[in-house]
């Protein structure tokens, strides 16, 4: 059934059903004290007592006060909804709920009636308009909201406004509350839930927001029916199984649970990794933690924070670990680059995790960087920790995060060297729901906060009206999600799972081994056998600091096995200025696209060559560091220098470059490469240091079903050897292998020797 | 005569002449005390007395000590010269003279013999190798050195080594000094001067280094003959008039003076602007100031600092004003982007200008940013100023710097708004010697340290061996110097002066008016009548903050007059992500170069369209700020979206974009545009603010020989008007003009009204 059709049908059904739900407010309410949601009476007392005593808290209070006072001076505007996310009406309604939530905090802390009045006036303006408000005029969403173009944003509104309402609850008369609850909050909660089950009843960050919104207002209003709906979803949602949303994600699969607790159960792995990736984890953390905290206060018996072995608090730690040295999230799957732990959601997450977790002093170093705390008990607690000098550095280490509800659907490994001097992000995860990319066994590489080999991220300019209304651009699908947009293997110019979400969602890669016990020799290895039926991929990434090298390098072994012949393309999306290469190539006088679809239509070919040697080298300079890719090539390989930007009439894509190894007519093969940072260049001293690779030769010296061995010879003649047992990942098994006439013996799945 | 031929001839002549000059050392020497060059006995005493008392000086001392100690531990290496600027032998010899100079300072301050020994050993290694050393094996330079591929770098060596020698002079025996002077220093000085008059006897930064090198060693050795040669050049250099160097610069023109004082006279304008541009001014400042200081100490009667009304000290101020908000030099002419006032040359310049100038407390704010001072009296003085809290901010204002020895060869104007929120760099200068670009009346625009409309800079990777040996790349000539690479007018796809240096060097643009008296309405205007014979250009740039605008904008009026018809191309090299435009264009399926030569061969056409309206608008997002170009277009104009990178097989060029207005078959015409910064976008808050232009319409409402008027209508309907009197730049003349039936009256060359 077509989505727009079912949406209309649901809306139709809802229109008639509405009066019934509104009447549900008649049920008995037990008197509660307010605020009780995020702030509590006792907590507020503590905040007031500490005013002027905790610098970071005071500074945060002043900053919020300044912003809210400026908004109050501007006056309240609740325009008729009209725009997409970049437009005025969207921005205004968004700012309204954000400012109202903050005004609520200020009212509680400063006891200045102007803040209560501001919220009350705003709420009654919404109350006056809401009942007659049609669904939003923009039709793109599978679940259109009323204030916003999608229910997701309406849910944001309710999550924040619930807090504002809670803050001024005691200042309102019984009649005023009844008016707000009957005309605004209950119909609002019903609309985003029963009115839009295709939005509300999923396992998806959208639903998390919806569930939290309904749950938050339920807790303020003490409405048990809404609370049950928040926690467990809508029992009979009437949704069919073949529906998809406008991002292409499934709305319902067989046996699917719903509601907040199911959303907490499903997308988080036991390690706290969120299957959509860090960008969306950041977005989803807010409703998870805020509703978790509200439940902690009002319904402690639900034990939301303790759910699934404290997964919510673990998730904060996982999320912080999914950042580069500057705190920017790795853009796995759909992720806008630049988003970081400086975002308001992470201020919330870190403060709450500090206070309600184990008061981990390492979190305080993030708090110090954020230089802002929440205006509630957790923020005060963090600010006191900072004031009292408890801060310890949050030194990120290598980490392996499992994916899947049970932690058995692959994962993401991050190998780090030193003080994040080199960070490798290796993805062997599940599809990641509708925001997933088709990039099994792909990786990206960072030098501190600089990308060395990039993950493209998403093709979208979030909230920028001029670029497709701030929504996903068509290039997200035609480029960003495609396999060729990533540093992994594309077979026969076709994306993994043929780019089919239904298929991709059934599979995940599998961990072969992970070992970060020796900082100078860290290894992660994973396999993928479903992306291309009949073709098995086994990729092993090692971060190695050999004695004879200035800096660590990354060894990348991609073993491909197939009984039939294919064309394999392996790109390296290097970031920086091309320095030199040891192969020759033709430069076309005009640029044409490399292919017709699956992302290839967006790539120009700026150069096409052949290896001049069995060891191909390619160097670039990125932000003051030289890098060399050294890779074992076959004389029949093609070397393509590509540039993004073909078939991009609206300039939605960046003009980024790659070196691509194309191996034609190959069945079983190994791509073995080293990515090596070396030396430096400084634009002020103009001094170029160690600008040449230390590697002379890289060879696959052994490859069969059981073992693959790579020899790396440096410029001074020393040869290192890395051997992997392809089929025995036990750490205790003993191996013996003869390579070039010499016997090697070792214990465990891999062996490295650099002398 | 061919250059290589004359160079060989000169070398031949020199080989026979050498013994004569070596014997010149026999002349009588009056005893001098040492050190007396940059350090003095009294100065060193003062440094020692202040040790431990001046934090920034102590820190600088520690930092230098650490570096020198590490080098001493490594041991001395003086390899046989072999490489270009990026290679090992080049880098090693360069490091040698830098470290030796520093070791000299340490020896004087710390009185530790190991530093004297290090210098002595190094000097004797050079002494042992120098006499038999052939000219450098790399043949690219018009003046090959011995230690380095060009005499320029040999001169650098001598400027630094003279200081090292001076520092340990008293530790050497008379015999040791005689050996060094006879076998190393005098032959060295002779080789770079009499041996290479084509290098030494020019008006050029090369010669400045050569002159300073000879002068420095002359002052240490108390050699009057060499000193005269340094100050006044070689009297009879035997050079012909038609010679050029390998950058295409003239070696000798008729009536040319030579020597240090002539080089101080010619390239600096009375305002302290150096005609080659800030990047080379930075480079040249070091020998100018260091030899100036040495002369100040040893030959105060020469009054080098006082020469030409203190031009050397003025030049430091001019240079600091030629930077963006981050301290990076504007890349006028050949300039590598990223070079800044953090460079060692500027540490030298600022410390010396502070101490030997008027102790301007504003210079101390630059000293604080540099966080490093010289290990001599001027460094101590600056560090004491900082310690004593004398620092005042160096608030850069709008400034107009004249070009030419007498200040009558055009100039460079910088209009600034606020705290460098917007900085316009308008170039109406002379050619700028061999490093000049063919870009009359071009401009670049900055928002703090971010480029809004860029000047490309040079096509070179200084000292990076992999990229053409670190030297100028052929693309510097085929692209970077060409007119089309700049934000100015190209006629008939031909560069200004047809790209001919000989012609270009004869002319300069002329100032029409400059007025920065009202910060909300600053205007600079200049004319150019020689770049295209028969075509006159008059460009007026105004930085205006109208009442009804959030931020200031730049109004750009380029009036072109020609009795014949031409094709005019006016590009805007915007920096950032395309947002939207109000015209339609075709996107080619494959990219081809726009033209055949004069830079056009390097531009791909990504889009080709026609104006949809008389007011064309084009918006982009650059580093968090939105910008819109609004320009008056004709329905016959072509709008080209270009991308750099065609015919660039070695990836020497950046893939930068431009919007180009092409007006065909035009004689007299006006290009009138506004570049308008507005709003903001933040990647962490994902909030997009004021992303649309405030301008609705821009029209040329009047244009004749006497007056040009531009009307700017904002989105709320208010119209502003800017009128320029094209032929009367008097500030007192009264004007009256009827535009669209309304009379306007004003006094002075321009008039603006925004109500």
The predicted-structure confidence for A37-59, as pLDDT tens digits, reads as follows: 999 999 999 999 999 999 999 99
Confidence check: pLDDT of A284 > 70: yes
Cβ <8 Å between A621 and B464: yes
Assigned CATH class of B51-265:
mainly alpha
Per-residue confidence band for A649, with pLDDT thresholds at 50, 70 and 90? very high
Confidence check: pLDDT of A449 > 50: yes
Phi and psi at residue B543, in whole multiples of 5°?
A: -100, 115
Cβ <8 Å between A579 and B340: no
Contact A351, A373 (CB under 8 A): yes
Confidence check: pLDDT of B151 > 60: yes
Confidence check: pLDDT of B620 > 80: yes
Residue A35: is the preceding peptide bond cis (ω within 30°)? yes
Contacts of A303 (CB under 8 A, 6+ apart): none
Give the pLDDT confidence score for residue A195 in this predicted structure: 96
Chain B residues within an 8 Å CB radius of A340: 683-684
The mean pLDDT of B727-734, rounded to a whole number, is 97
Cβ <8 Å between B344 and A685: yes
Confidence check: pLDDT of A29 > 70: no
Per-residue confidence band for B31, with pLDDT thresholds at 50, 70 and 90? low
Cβ <8 Å between B470 and A688: yes
Partnered with residue A323 across adjacent β-strands are: A329
- B589: nearest CA in chain A? A647
**Which residue among B339, B464, B648 places its CB closest to the CB of A684?**
B339
Q: Directed axis angle between helix B151-168 and helix B205-221, to 10°?
A: 20
**Which residue among A342, A464, A683 places its CB closest to the CB of B691?**
A464
Confidence check: pLDDT of A3 > 80: no
Chain A residues within an 8 Å CB radius of B692: 466
State how far the Cα of B436 lies from the Cα of B429, in Å rounded to an integer.
Answer: 10
Sequence ranges of chain A with CATH classification 2.70.98.70: 399-753
Chain B residues within an 8 Å CB radius of A463: 681, 686-688
Select from B452, B626, B615 the least CA-distant residue to B550: B626
Confidence check: pLDDT of B6 > 60: no
Q: What angle do CA B706, B710, B711 make, to 5 degrees?
A: 140
Give the pLDDT confidence score for residue A710 in this predicted structure: 98
User: What 3-state DSSP class applies to B742?
Assistant: strand
**Percentage of chain B lying above the pLDDT 90 cut:** 90
Per-residue confidence band for A12, with pLDDT thresholds at 50, 70 and 90? very low
Give the pLDDT confidence score for residue B4 in this predicted structure: 45
Active-site positions of B? 280, 435
Assigned CATH class of A49-244:
mainly alpha
Six-digit token string for A154: 């309406």
Cα–Cα distances in angstroms (integers) from residue A623 to residues A680, B86, B575, B624, B708, in the given order: 9, 18, 18, 20, 46
Cβ <8 Å between A464 and B655: no
Shortest Cα distance from A556 to chain B (angstroms)? 25
Burial class of A517 by CB neighbour count within 10 A (0 to 12, 13 to 18, 19+)? exposed
State how far the Cα of A18 lies from the Cα of A187, in Å rounded to an integer.
Answer: 7
CATH number, domain B399-753: 2.70.98.70
State how far the Cα of A747 lies from the Cα of A737, in Å rounded to an integer.
Answer: 12
* A200 CB-side CA count, 13 A: 34
**Which residue among B466, B580, B619 places its CB closest to the CB of A579?**
B466
Sequence ranges of chain B with CATH classification 1.50.10.100: 51-265, 267-396
Cβ <8 Å between A681 and B464: yes
Per-residue confidence band for B24, with pLDDT thresholds at 50, 70 and 90? very low
Give the pLDDT confidence score for residue A15 in this predicted structure: 43
- A602: nearest CA in chain B? B589
Shortest Cα distance from B632 to chain A (angstroms)? 22
* B469 CB-side CA count, 13 A: 16
Q: If you search the block for the tokens 């220098």, which residue do you land on?
A: A641
* A643 CB-side CA count, 13 A: 26
**DSSP code string of B80-117:** PP---TTSHHHHHHHHHHHHHHHHHHHHHHH--HHHHH
Confidence check: pLDDT of A408 > 50: yes
- B338: nearest CA in chain A? A683
Confidence check: pLDDT of B15 > 50: no
Express each pLDDT in B159-215 by its tens digit.
999 999 999 999 999 999 999 999 999 999 999 999 999 999 998 889 999 999 999
Express each pLDDT in A603-616 by its tens digit.
999 999 999 999 99
CATH fold for domain B267-396: Glycosyltransferase (1.50.10)
Confidence check: pLDDT of B153 > 90: yes
* b/e per residue B334-344 (b: at least 16 CB within 10 A): bbbbbbbbbbe
Cβ <8 Å between B590 and A589: no
The mean pLDDT of B351-360, rounded to a whole number, is 96
Contact B264, B311 (CB under 8 A): yes
Partnered with residue A639 across adjacent β-strands are: A609, A661
Express each pLDDT in B535-568 by its tens digit.
999 999 999 999 989 999 999 999 999 999 999 9
Express each pLDDT in A55-76 by its tens digit.
999 999 999 999 999 999 999 9
Three-class SS of B299-355: CHHHCCCCHHHHHHHHHHHHHHHCECCCCEECCCCCCCCCCECCCHHHHHHHHHHHH
Which of B472, B687, B688 is the best residue to mutate to test the A interface, defined by the most A CB atoms within 10 Å of its own CB? B688
Give the pLDDT confidence score for residue B17 in this predicted structure: 41
Contacts of B92 (CB under 8 A, 6+ apart): B77, B78, B79
Q: What is this model's ipTM? A: 0.92
Mean pLDDT, chain A, rounded, equals: 94
State how far the Cα of A420 lies from the Cα of A324, in Å rounded to an integer.
Answer: 8
Shortest Cα distance from A463 to chain B (angstroms)? 6
Which of B691, B693, B715 is the best residue to mutate to test the A interface, defined by the most A CB atoms within 10 Å of its own CB? B691
Residue A464: is the preceding peptide bond cis (ω within 30°)? no
Cα–Cα distances in angstroms (integers) from residue B570 to residues A21, A433, B430, B556, in the given order: 65, 48, 21, 12
Chain B residues within an 8 Å CB radius of A587: 647-649
**Percentage of chain A lying above the pLDDT 70 cut:** 96
Express each pLDDT in B631-657 by its tens digit.
999 999 999 999 999 999 999 999 999
State how far the Cα of B585 lies from the Cα of B642, in Å rounded to an integer.
Answer: 12
The mean pLDDT of A714-741, rounded to a whole number, is 96
Confidence check: pLDDT of A31 > 70: no
Confidence check: pLDDT of A4 > 80: no
Express each pLDDT in A479-492 by its tens digit.
999 999 999 999 99
Express each pLDDT in A183-198 by its tens digit.
999 999 999 999 999 9
Active-site positions of A? 280, 435
Mean pLDDT, chain B, rounded, equals: 94
Contacts of A207 (CB under 8 A, 6+ apart): A199, A200, A201, A233, A258, A263
**Which residue among A464, A604, A649 places its CB closest to the CB of B681?**
A464
Cβ <8 Å between A684 and B340: yes
Shortest Cα distance from B94 to chain A (angstroms)? 10
Shortest Cα distance from A435 to chain B (angstroms)? 18
Chain B residues within an 8 Å CB radius of A83: none
Give the pLDDT confidence score for residue B244 in this predicted structure: 79
Sequence ranges of chain A with CATH classification 1.50.10.100: 49-244, 267-396
Q: If you search the block for the tokens 């101590």, which residue do you land on?
A: B380
Terminal CA-CA length for chain A: 65
Cβ <8 Å between B464 and A683: no
Partnered with residue B515 across adjacent β-strands are: B523
Give the pLDDT confidence score for residue B497 in this predicted structure: 98
Burial class of B556 by CB neighbour count within 10 A (0 to 12, 13 to 18, 19+)? buried
Cβ <8 Å between B579 and A91: no
Confidence check: pLDDT of A20 > 80: no
Chain B residues within an 8 Å CB radius of A577: 461, 651, 654
State how far the Cα of B696 lies from the Cα of B714, in Å rounded to an integer.
Answer: 5
Chain B residues within an 8 Å CB radius of A342: 684
């Amino acid at each position: 059934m077509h989505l727009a059709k079912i949406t209309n049908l649901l809306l139709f059904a809802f229109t008639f059903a509405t009066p019934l739900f509104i009447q549900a407010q008649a049920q008995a309410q037990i008197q509660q004290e307010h605020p009780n949601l995020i702030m509590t009476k006792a907590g507020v007392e503590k905040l007031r007592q500490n005013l002027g005593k905790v610098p970071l808290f005071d500074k945060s209070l002043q900053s919020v006060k300044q912003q809210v006072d400026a908004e109050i001076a501007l006056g309240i505007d609740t325009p008729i909804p009209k725009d997409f996310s970049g437009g005025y009406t969207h921005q205004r309604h968004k700012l309204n709920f954000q400012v109202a939530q903050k005004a609520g905090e200020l009212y509680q802390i400063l006891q200045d009636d102007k803040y209560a009045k501001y919220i009350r006036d705003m709420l009654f303006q919404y109350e006056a308009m809401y009942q007659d408000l049609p669904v939003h005029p923009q039709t793109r969403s599978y679940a259109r909201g009323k204030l916003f173009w999608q229910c997701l944003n309406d849910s944001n509104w309710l999550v924040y406004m619930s807090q504002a309402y809670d803050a001024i609850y005691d200042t309102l008369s019984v009649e005023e509350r009844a008016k707000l609850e009957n005309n605004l909050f209950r119909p609002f909660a019903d609309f985003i839930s029963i009115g839009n089950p295709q939005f509300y009843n999923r396992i998806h960050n959208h639903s998390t927001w919806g569930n939290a919104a309904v749950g938050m207002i339920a807790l303020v209003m003490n409405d048990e029916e809404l609370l049950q709906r928040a926690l467990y979803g809508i029992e009979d949602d009437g949704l069919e199984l073949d529906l998809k949303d406008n991002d292409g994600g499934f709305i319902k699969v067989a046996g699917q649970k719903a509601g907040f607790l199911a959303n907490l159960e499903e997308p988080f792995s036991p390690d706290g990794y969120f299957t959509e990736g860090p960008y969306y984890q950041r977005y989803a953390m807010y409703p998870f933690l805020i509703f978790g905290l509200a439940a902690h206060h009002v319904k402690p018996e639900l034990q939301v924070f303790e759910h699934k072995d404290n997964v919510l608090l673990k998730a904060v730690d996982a999320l912080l670990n999914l950042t580069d040295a500057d705190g920017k999230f790795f853009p796995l799957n759909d992720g806008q680059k630049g988003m970081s732990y400086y975002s308001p959601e992470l201020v919330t997450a870190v403060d709450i995790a500090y206070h309600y977790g184990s008061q981990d002093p390492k979190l305080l170093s993030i708090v110090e960087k954020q230089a802002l705390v929440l205006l509630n008990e957790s923020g005060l607690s963090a600010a006191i920790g900072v004031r009292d000098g408890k801060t310890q550095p949050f030194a990120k280490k290598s980490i392996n995060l499992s994916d899947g509800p049970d932690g058995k659907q692959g994962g993401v490994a991050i190998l780090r060297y030193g003080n994040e001097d080199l960070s490798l992000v290796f993805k062997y995860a599940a599809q990641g729901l509708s925001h997933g990319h088709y990039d099994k066994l792909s990786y990206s590489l960072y030098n501190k906060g600089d990308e060395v080999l990039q993950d493209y991220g998403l093709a979208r300019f979030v909230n920028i009206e001029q670029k497709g209304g701030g929504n996903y651009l068509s290039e997200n699908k035609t480029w960003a999600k495609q396999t060729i947009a990533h540093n992994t293997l594309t077979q026969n110019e076709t994306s993994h799972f043929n780019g089919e979400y239904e298929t991709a969602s059934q599979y995940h890669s599998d961990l072969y081994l992970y070992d970060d016990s020796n900082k100078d020799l860290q290894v992660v290895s994973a396999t993928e056998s479903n992306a291309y039926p009949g073709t098995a991929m086994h990729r092993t990434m090692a971060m190695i600091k050999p004695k004879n090298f200035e800096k660590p390098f990354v060894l990348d072994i991609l073993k491909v096995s197939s009984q039939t012949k294919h064309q394999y393309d392996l790109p390296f999306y290097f970031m920086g200025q091309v320095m030199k290469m040891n192969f020759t190539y033709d430069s076309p006088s005009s640029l044409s696209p490399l292919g017709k679809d699956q992302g290839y239509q967006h790539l120009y070919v700026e150069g096409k060559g052949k290896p001049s040697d069995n060891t191909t080298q390619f160097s670039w300079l990125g932000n003051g560091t030289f890098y060399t890719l050294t890779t074992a090539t076959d004389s029949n390989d093609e070397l393509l220098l590509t540039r993004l930007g073909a078939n991009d009439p609206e300039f939605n894509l960046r003009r980024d470059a790659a070196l691509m190894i194309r191996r034609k007519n190959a069945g079983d093969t190994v791509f073995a490469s080293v990515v090596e940072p070396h030396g430096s260049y400084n634009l002020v001293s103009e001094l170029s240091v160690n600008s040449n690779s230390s590697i002379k030769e890289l060879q696959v010296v052994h490859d069969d079903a059981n073992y693959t061995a790579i020899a790396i010879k440096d410029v001074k003649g020393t040869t290192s050897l890395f051997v992997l047992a392809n089929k025995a990942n036990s750490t205790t098994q003993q191996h013996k292998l003869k390579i070039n006439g010499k016997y090697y013996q070792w214990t465990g799945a891999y062996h490295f020797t650099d002398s």
